[in-house]
Amino acid sequence: MPRSMCPACGATLAPHELIPVLSYLFQKGACTRCGTKIGVGYPIIEIISGALAAVFFYAHGFSFPFFHAFSLSGVFLAVALVDLRHRIIPNAFVVVGLLSALTLAPQVAGINLEKSVLGALIGGGSFALIRLVYRWLRAREGMGAGDVKLSILIGAALGFEGWLRAVMLGSIGGVLAGLYLIRAGRAKTDSHLPYGTYLALAAITLQLWQVFA
């Protein structure tokens, strides 16, 4: 895997330039080589990731459930951002998430390997069927293959009941966001919205709900 680098000039980043949040502050939000501004989104995501780690550590301590929850929330967060910006869900994200979900599921209260596998099969099968039926009826794609893969991951991570809640919550979030964008003149009724973003954020919300409920 290549080392982290500046997207503008391609310079490889040194270890001291990879410290979450602090590196951004010390470098005054810019690359030390070419001076290109670094998006404020980077430290914001680092802060969110740190907050998620703190919440799950508070709930589970240094344990398998902590690694299960935090690793999956990190994958969901990455999926939400990449799908929002690039309209894709990388296979690598899904594979890493599935490995975490399936290997750690037996160590997590409320979900075991059987429930994890069942959730993955129902989640993936349901979305695959919806995708095929829509394409057959409308002769065009209505759901990306990435959404099907993400549905598999959410089912494996949260089980069938958690998957169902995530689909409902993500759908509501997507509809509300779409209505807002249309009203603001930033989208049309036939615009494509990154459904994976809302699904992933819904999954994180449900993870947090399990902590505070």
Tens-place pLDDT, residues 91-144:
999 999 999 999 988 888 788 899 999 999 999 999 999 999 988 888 788 788
- Return the structure tokens found at 83: 């799908």
DSSP letters of 124-183? HHHHHHHHHHHHHHHSS-SS-HHHHHHHHHHHHHHHHHHHHHHHHHHHHHHHHHHHHHHH
Span 17-31, pLDDT tens digits: 888 888 888 888 888
Q: Tokens 């494996």 belong to which residue?
A: 156
Residues listed for the chain: 213
Span 127-142, pLDDT tens digits: 999 999 988 888 788 7
Q: Are 156 and 184 contacting, i.e. CB atoms less than 8 angstroms apart?
A: no
Which pTM value belongs to this model? 0.88
DSSP single-letter state for residue 106: G
- Name the residue ranges covered by the structural domains of the chain: 1-39, 46-212
Q: Are 156 and 98 contacting, i.e. CB atoms less than 8 angstroms apart?
A: yes
Q: How many other C-beta atoms are found inside a 10 Å radius of the C-beta of residue 22?
A: 13
Span 142-186, pLDDT tens digits: 788 899 999 999 999 999 999 999 999 999 999 999 888 888 888
The maximal CA–CA distance of the chain, rounded, in angstroms, is 55
